[in-house]
Structure 1
Amino acid sequence: MSFRHISSAKLQSARRYHNGLPEGWNRDRFRQLCVCYAQIRGASAQCIRTYEIIIDMISPSAFRDPSLEPFCYARQETLIAGRGLTDRTIHNHERELEAIGLIERRLGANGARCKRKGLGLFLTPALNLIPEMRDAEVRSKAEKKEHDALRGDRSRLYRYVKCSLAVLTSLPCPPDGVEDMMKEFRSWPRADKLKYMSLEALRLHVQAAHDLWKRIEDHIAKPGEISGEPEAGFGSHIQDHIEEKILSCNADGEVTMSSAEASEPDCSGSGPDGPPNCLESNHPTDLISCKAQNLPRVNNHILYDLASPELRMHIDIAGGGVQNSSPTLYAIETGVWSRLSEIGTNISAWHAAIERLTIMGAIVAGVVTDARLSDPRLPPVVNPGGYLRGMVKADERGELNLISSFMGLLARRAREEDDGLR
């Protein structure tokens, strides 16, 4: 045997060695990891099912003993297992699994498999790939979490941009550039298409949506582009700058819009009984409800002042990374959800709160939930998501009093300020 053959044989022997499964692992945990990795690598569902069958046909002890190589010697007809596949399909599955590093095909002539001769589909490469597969799993979960967060961000931006543009276009003299902004807004992909966008493409789209939102805010902030000023001493619910400067207009000085009506922006429905050229006609009258009436009357500055330091940080990040004692409603909503997610609240709990309590109520409930975590006078909240769901359930029973909860938080912050804790 030549030196080249000897070197090749040693390399082949080293490649077929494995250390077995990590401490505390079993065959099922290994199978879950392999399935996740196969999905990341783009394997089809049928191919992954074939791999699961291959793993299930191998003794669990073969995965733990480094002196043994786990391999499946079952014939292709057995792997088909009544799934309606052909031998060629199974062959393609095996080649695909080998290409992504999950199996090694050591077959005899014409694809023969034999236990005695040690011919079949070996899973040694997958055992040696465990560190890489675990890293890929962590990265995949992080990317999925970011993708979900970006889609939620786009959803909030869509709502605010749509309503803001509707208000701007209804002005007697719309500012320059509104048509271009409307055209850009209409070019946004539908929400159901976002799920299939790559992470990088979604990042770019959400960044473009943020830029459009900032341009709209710049137009709103320019003097002379609104039809009226807020009523003196107007006590409002949580409001965005758009609502504070535009939605509370009183074009002819005849009719004013109640704070309950301004609590939730909406671009559809019939307008209130007021002057036909008043901008309030962009908002329906059915927003006056018991939900809005049961909310505490606060503005953005008060809400930011009552937020915990951690929540303020998230609001500042959502608002562009700069501290702002009077942030926009978009920054508040995004910051509250980011904070709730950070402390372990599920997205379904947040959606349930919005659906039941409206966005304004969900924001107030989120602030109260976050503050409840650090209240020294009460037992600590173990499950913030459960606490938020409990508030939703209490509202369904007619037992929720957000005003009382918010006033309690207000009193607590006042005590902390007096004691020099803040």
Structure 2
Amino acid sequence: MSFRQISTARLLDPKRFHNGLPDGWNRDRFRQLCVSYAQIRGVSAQCIRTFEIIIDMISPNAFRDPSQEPFCYARQETLIAGRRLTDRTIHNHERNLEAIGLIERRLGENGARCKRKGLGLFLTPALNLIPEMHDAEAQNKADKKEHDALRGDRSRLYRYVKHGLAVLVSLPCPPKGCEDMMEAFRSWPRSDKLKYMSLEQLKCHVQAAHDLWKRIDGHVAKPGEISGAPEACFGSHIQDQFEETILSCNADGESSMPSAEASEPDCSGSGPDGPAHCSESNHPTDPAGRKAQKLPRVNNRILYDLASPELRMHIDIAGGGDQNPNPSLYAIETGIWSRLSEIGTNVSAWHEAINRLTLMGAILAGVITDARLSDPKLPLVVNPGGYLRGMVQADERGELNLISSFMGLLARRAREEDHGLG
């Protein structure tokens, strides 16, 4: 080979360098990022374990020094390490890791590895992939959060659609298309299948479910009411008066509606069969014999007036996007949870509030928690989720008085309106 050919070959050879780990990082943190990225890319657990063995065989200093490339020159037998895998499996693992950009295979003939000759599995590509791995991790977290929110929305829609259909079929003359709506409802996947749906598939399903609910609500809803005449076991809808006790809205299970029992939609094969805490489960989590929380009974218009501007925005979005001073119960529940999530409340705190206070109590507690953030006369609430949990714990001790809190919020909104702040 001539000198000209050698020079050309060197120019064509890609430069292999890295800037080392970011400040404050060590090998273990880098490994965690790589493992997370590999999981996002769908790499098997066995393959990830192979990668962890590879990275553990490299000196930590090699990841920090840009003048040297971190590489593993261990033989495949060493990587197997008594894991009952074949050489072919390890070879496939290495190819998969190379395909997603975590390693580069620079091997000799027949896959030879040698420290002196610089042959082995190099992790330089992974070091140069750190920004992309960060982006992928952030996107994955955002997708999971959106997936959880969509499943929660489907859970709420399931309850409202089931109730609405039961009301429609109990009418002397069910509206045209009722059978089609029931058939569409029966075709819904079970709640325990939703987690395995892709984000796009779940978006399409929830949108279709929401469209079905809007069709049903158009037949059921009446002026001044939430969703038609409330059924006996669906829960006490919000009214404009006070009462000493309130029936628990079965937010954790499917209501059996006695008044429509003969014509209740048949959901066999499509209904949920999740764990006891699942909001579509058939197993109520409300402890038997627990004393019901005393709740004010108010209409939807009053709740909307009591809501903060931010909360009203979320209720409007849940109701279709237009301002509606008399929204549906579905829009109120969805809007309140969206607002609580926005201010940092964990979903488990919301579920605990529903389980303990009933859906109506949780709605009132959510409105009060949101209003508490902007109360100028009281100390700032740093942790809204903790504040909501505190209300649940106060109820467990028998110290919660939602009626008093509700009356206090009414008085506060009246003062703000008098001063032109509402």
Question: Fold-level match, TM-score > 0.5?
Answer: yes
Q: Tell me which residue corresponds to 1:413.
A: 413
More deviation, 160-169/292-301 = 292-301
Task: State the distance in 2 between where 1:102 and 1:315 align.
Answer: 45
TM-aligned CA deviation for residue 120 of structure 1: 1.1
Q: Summarize the alignment of residues 143-162 of structure 1 with structure 2, pairs less than 5 Å apart.
A: 143-162=143-162
Q: Tell me which residue corresponds to 2:210.
A: 210
User: Residues 271, 262 of structure 1: CA spacing in aligned structure 2 closer, same or farther, 3 A cutoff?
Assistant: farther
Specify the code of the residue in structure 2 equivalent to 1:9. Answer: R
* RMSD (Å), alpha carbons: 3.0
Q: Tell me which residue corresponds to 2:115.
A: 115
Q: Give the TM-score of the pair, scaled to structure 1.
A: 0.85
Could you give the per-residue CA deviations for residues 26-46 of structure 1, whole angstroms, max 9, x where no partner exists? 222211221121112111111
Task: State the distance in 1 between where 2:391 and 2:245 align.
Answer: 23
User: Residues 288, 44 of structure 1: CA spacing in aligned structure 2 closer, same or farther, 3 A cutoff?
Assistant: closer
SS at match of 1:189: coil
Specify the code of the residue in structure 1 equivalent to 2:73. Answer: Y
Q: Tell me which residue corresponds to 1:10.
A: 11
Task: State the distance in 2 between where 1:276 and 1:26 align.
Answer: 64
Could you give the per-residue CA deviations for residues 314-369 of structure 1, whole angstroms, max 9, x where no partner exists? 11111111110111111111111111111111111111111111111111111111
Task: State the distance in 2 between where 1:287 and 1:55 align.
Answer: 51
Mapped pair 1:47 → 2:33? no
Task: State the distance in 1 between where 2:122 and 2:254 align.
Answer: 61
Find the partner of 2:226 among 237, 240, 254: 240
TM-aligned CA deviation for residue 8 of structure 1: 4.5
Could you give the per-residue CA deviations for residues 356-405 of structure 1, whole angstroms, max 9, x where no partner exists? 11111111111111111111111111111111111111111111111111
Q: Tell me which residue corresponds to 1:178.
A: 178
SS at match of 1:121: strand
Identity %: 76
Task: State the distance in 2 between where 1:4 and 1:336 align.
Answer: 71
Q: Tell me which residue corresponds to 1:195.
A: 195
Task: State the distance in 2 between where 1:336 and 1:212 align.
Answer: 22
Q: Summarize the alignment of residues 20-419 of structure 1 with structure 2, pairs less than 5 Å apart.
A: 20-221=20-221, 240-243=226-229, 260-261=246-247, 268-269=255-256, 271=258, 294-419=294-419
Task: State the distance in 2 between where 1:309 and 1:128 align.
Answer: 46
More deviation, 320-329/400-409 = 400-409
Task: State the distance in 2 between where 1:343 and 1:8 align.
Answer: 59
Could you give the per-residue CA deviations for residues 203-253 of structure 1, whole angstroms, max 9, x where no partner exists? 111110011001001112479xxxxxx9xxxxxxxx7233469999xxxxx
Q: Tell me which residue corresponds to 1:252.
A: none
Contact 1:69 1:122 in 2 (8 A): yes
Could you give the per-residue CA deviations for residues 289-326 of structure 1, whole angstroms, max 9, x where no partner exists? 87655112111111111011111111111111111011
Task: State the distance in 2 between where 1:44 and 1:385 align.
Answer: 36
More deviation, 153-162/408-417 = 408-417
Task: State the distance in 2 between where 1:218 and 1:313 align.
Answer: 22
Higher relative contact order (CA 8 A, sep 6+): 2
SS at match of 1:355: helix
Contact 1:73 1:121 in 2 (8 A): yes
Task: State the distance in 1 between where 2:71 and 2:78 align.
Answer: 15
User: Residues 288, 77 of structure 1: CA spacing in aligned structure 2 closer, same or farther, 3 A cutoff?
Assistant: closer
Specify the code of the residue in structure 1 equivalent to 2:246. Answer: A
Could you give the per-residue CA deviations for residues 51-92 of structure 1, whole angstroms, max 9, x where no partner exists? 112112212211111111011112222222222222221111
Specify the code of the residue in structure 2 equivalent to 1:119. Answer: L
Task: State the distance in 2 between where 1:8 and 1:396 align.
Answer: 76
Contact 1:260 1:287 in 2 (8 A): no
- How many aligned residue pairs are there? 390
TM-aligned CA deviation for residue 160 of structure 1: 0.5
Task: State the distance in 2 between where 1:406 and 1:7 align.
Answer: 80
Task: State the distance in 1 between where 2:232 and 2:352 align.
Answer: 29
Could you give the per-residue CA deviations for residues 70-125 of structure 1, whole angstroms, max 9, x where no partner exists? 11112222222222222221111001101111101112222222222211110001
Task: State the distance in 1 between where 2:190 and 2:5 align.
Answer: 60
Specify the code of the residue in structure 2 equivalent to 1:121. Answer: L
User: Residues 391, 4 of structure 1: CA spacing in aligned structure 2 closer, same or farther, 3 A cutoff?
Assistant: farther
User: Residues 140, 26 of structure 1: CA spacing in aligned structure 2 closer, same or farther, 3 A cutoff?
Assistant: same
Q: Tell me which residue corresponds to 2:268.
A: none
User: Residues 34, 267 of structure 1: CA spacing in aligned structure 2 closer, same or farther, 3 A cutoff?
Assistant: closer
Task: State the distance in 1 between where 2:132 and 2:75 align.
Answer: 30
Contact 1:263 1:292 in 2 (8 A): no
Task: State the distance in 2 between where 1:54 and 1:69 align.
Answer: 14
Contact 1:260 1:288 in 2 (8 A): no
TM-aligned CA deviation for residue 260 of structure 1: 3.5
